[in-house]
Amino acid sequence: MLAFIFDKNTFPLSAETKPKSTPALTSSKVNEEHDKKEILKRYRALLKASKAHVGNQDQKLIRKAFDLALDAHKEMRRRSGEPYILHPLAVAQIVAQEIGLGTTSIVCALLHDTVEDTHITLEDIAQQFGAKTAKIIDGLTKISGVFDNSSSIQAENFRKMLLTLSDDVRVILIKLADRLHNMRTLGSMPRDKQLKIASETAYLYAPLAHRLGLYAIKTEMDDLVLKYKEPQVYKDIVKQLKQTKREREAFIAEFMQPIRKSLDAHGLKYEIKGRTKSIHSIFNKMKKQNIPFEEVFDLFAIRVILDSEQDREKPDCWQAYSIVTDYYKPNPDRLRDWISTPKANGYESLHTTVMSTGGRWVEVQIRSLRMDEIAEKGYAAHWKYKESSSESAVDEWINRIREMLENSEGNALDFIDDFKLNLFSDEIFVFTPKGDLRTLPVGATALDFAFEIHTNIGEKCIGAKINHKLVPLSHVLNSGDQIEILTSSKQNPKEDWLEFAITAKAKSKIKSALKEEKRKISEDGREIFDRKFKNLKLDKSDFDMHKLLMYLRLPNASEFYYRLAKEVIDFSEVKDFLINKDRIDEKLASRPETKSLEDVVKQIRGSNEALVIGDNLTNMDYKLSPCCNPISGDDVFGFITINEGIKIHRVNCPNAIQLMSNYGYRIVKAKWTHQKEIAFLAGIKINGTDDVGVVNNITKVISNELKVNMRSISIDSNEGLFEGTIMLFVHDTKHLDKLIAKLLKVKGIYSISRIE
């Protein structure tokens, strides 16, 4: 145990001296010594990282938490084989160094897995470290027990974690640090687990990090998601970035030279950084614009960080902007002023894109040291500057989440879907009739604005005036709009409102109102049923509601009463059941037994390590999902549906992230057999110049040279250029790649991409 390495009271951290004569060590002894040294090294690094935030008394508390965690996890190892204690140490390191939190958070990070995985209880934590620490660790502890299969254990965990947000946002920050370290060490996990964890990260944790202003953590999470979901793409971009690094550095130095001279001449204190775009954002740009790496011109941004007093920040930033644009022509459409109007996550900066002398666009970001710290460390940095600022946008957002949690009903997945809507990255700024500024997500409607003002206004709204013009509730807002909401006391929320409301607050309030209305209608339905049952003069004790629900195929009595009141169910059908009870019982008994989803999942998961697609020996029913059209050779997974057997999806399917993150227990591994005779439908998009005979040349390559059958071809030309879509049948990804390579040699074709 590590306790033998250094004294508990004096914290000596010098390396052990090697004795003059050492007996031969066994392999296990060597490993034990190596583990001790590694743990000591990581503990030292943690103390160094926390130095800025903690005093001597705090160091003793951190040591106490470390000793407890070390002892609790002493027999445990991670899948990679390393001692488990290295994980809580790494999480604590991220919390201290990368987020900048203090002693309580470091202690909680060290102890975050003890209650779930060891003999330590929350009572033990409270006794030794206080109630606040125990409360945070409770929020970090996963839920145990059995859940409804329509739900997701991961979603329940997430909801529980967010519930603690009402008391302490540090729960979220430590959880993000925990997830980041899990992503950094994901290489030791099996492929299906990698995909599930990466999908959860992309779906919830990366957007949450963004919303709390943790830009560096969000960026790294996105990059790691790409690394495990599309490993070859990730490797290719990393390789190309390395190859062009020297060229980029030389360009930045040349670009900044005149700007440096001018900043010095004006007496501004500053630091300049050149930041390469994240691998994930480069990939997104390549995918969105359908271009290769070489054509991504804005690979990097240059950041000018000014050391200014807080009352001088804004004028100094604009002065720096003026200096930059003295030398380089700005793109007027690319100026972003997030100093006058900060982003919803508290981000402040001036962004401009300028044309360099070499004919390349360069993004320049200008901000103060304070703004830079908030941009990197997000919410944690807000605490540091709290005294000198009013309630931040992040605090407002957290208050919204609290309100949403208080009104949260239904299953965890509905809650997560609503919560996701609060994680918007792009905002618009709109105004009330009195000129008050409100922030909403891009795509928000007049209805969302009404609920943003007040729940009662939202529920009673009938229309809106935008910039003094009458518009419907579904009207999409733009930045700068001034909105006046029109209401009526007779109005009530409608079901179709859910189709165009996009904020979580609006959706949850509408659902809540509709649920209350449905409850009242169900009560009316119960009275109708009781009255009609009484008229039939039947014995109530002989009535079995469960059998009636089975007969009508309804989930519960409340739904039955609601449909009866709305006259969706004809009482004559109910009367038939009540009067002809014996005949109905026989009919129900003869129905084939329906297996629960849980039974289906167990059967499939237990029958095969991986679903083999195309194997005649398999007795499992599967279908290729039309949302991504997988073909042989694609990286795929199986998703167990309720009524349609197993659906095969590509790993990079647009729906994959949501399926894997919310329904991980219904995912099965899948692999292809090599059966050449199977033909899969795939689509390609072709762009090129509209020369005479180009379509004929394309079809010749497809039909004559490669003997590929086409299902459809559509070509549209405009001003000398054409864009075409071809659906064709191929054997596998190699076959498709060969076809694309051949078509790219046809004169006049610029680019070809597979339709996702």
Q: Is 748 exposed, middle or buried (0-12, 13-18, 19+ CB in 10 A)?
A: middle
The catalytic residue among 16, 116, 599, 644 is 116
State the pairing for strand pair 361-368/300-306: parallel
The answer to whether residues 16 and 54 touch, using CB atoms and an 8 Å cutoff, is no
H or E, element range at 218 = helix 215-229
Q: What are phi and psi of 364, to 5 degrees?
A: -120, 125
Q: How far apart are CA 317 and CA 333, in angstroms?
A: 19
| Sign of the CA dihedral with 565 first, then 569, 570, and 575 last | negative
State yes or no: is 116 an active-site residue: yes
3-state secondary structure 374-431: HHHHCHHHHHHCHHHCCCCHHHHHHHHHHHHHHCCCCCHHHHHHHHHCCCCCCEEEEE
Q: What is the CA radius of gyration of the chain?
A: 31
Q: Which residue has the tokens 């919303």?
A: 211
DSSP symbol at 17: P
> Across-strand partners of 83?
77
Q: Which residue has the tokens 């100094």?
A: 316
The answer to whether residues 483 and 465 touch, using CB atoms and an 8 Å cutoff, is yes
Q: How far apart are CA 507 and CA 421, in angstroms?
A: 10
Q: Is 593 exposed, middle or buried (0-12, 13-18, 19+ CB in 10 A)?
A: exposed
Side chain identity at 569, as an amino acid letter? I
Q: What token pair was written down for 389?
A: 């600022």
The catalytic residue among 58, 71, 117, 723 is 117
Q: How far apart are CA 130 and CA 116, in angstroms?
A: 18
Q: What token pair was written down for 748?
A: 């006049």
- In angstroms, the Cα distances linking 186 to 38, 62, 266, 271 are 20, 27, 49, 35
DSSP annotation string for 261-282? HHHHHTT--EEEEEEEPPHHHH
The answer to whether residues 293 and 285 touch, using CB atoms and an 8 Å cutoff, is no
Inter-helix orientation angle 571-579/545-552, to 10°? 120
Q: How far apart are CA 421 and CA 423, in angstroms?
A: 5
H or E, element range at 136 = helix 131-140
Q: Which residue has the tokens 């296990």?
A: 28
Spatial CA neighbour of 224 closest among 196, 247, 201: 201
- Residues with a catalytic annotation lie at 116-117
